[in-house]
Amino acid sequence: MLDRDQIIEIAVAVASVLLMLSAMFGIGSQYGTDNGTLTPEGGEMLVIAIIGFILLLTTVGLVLAFLMNEPEDELEPDDDADAKSAV
């Protein structure tokens, strides 16, 4: 069974992909020609959408990593480790 963190990660990933697909569909509808190609402006918009998608997923990944960080995962620095190694 999936735990709460995995469900949140899946939901955010699916929402991000659906956002990207809708942006690509919108660009294709707005800047597409009758023969199925994009105009040069549409190509530029598609590149911008792809870059935005990469930045969005990077930001979402970082936010999820910090929000779902649990102390027992040992992702936070341990202040006692310096004291133990000095002995």
Residue with tokens 């530029």: 44
Name the nearest CA neighbour of 65 among 76, 78, 50. Answer: 76
For the entire predicted model, the pTM comes to 0.72
Residue with tokens 């069974």: 1
- Residue 26 confidence (pLDDT): 95
* 31 band by pLDDT with thresholds 50, 70 and 90: very high
Residue type, 45: M
Percentage of the chain modeled with pLDDT above 70:
80
Percentage of the chain modeled with pLDDT above 90:
56
- Residue 36 confidence (pLDDT): 85
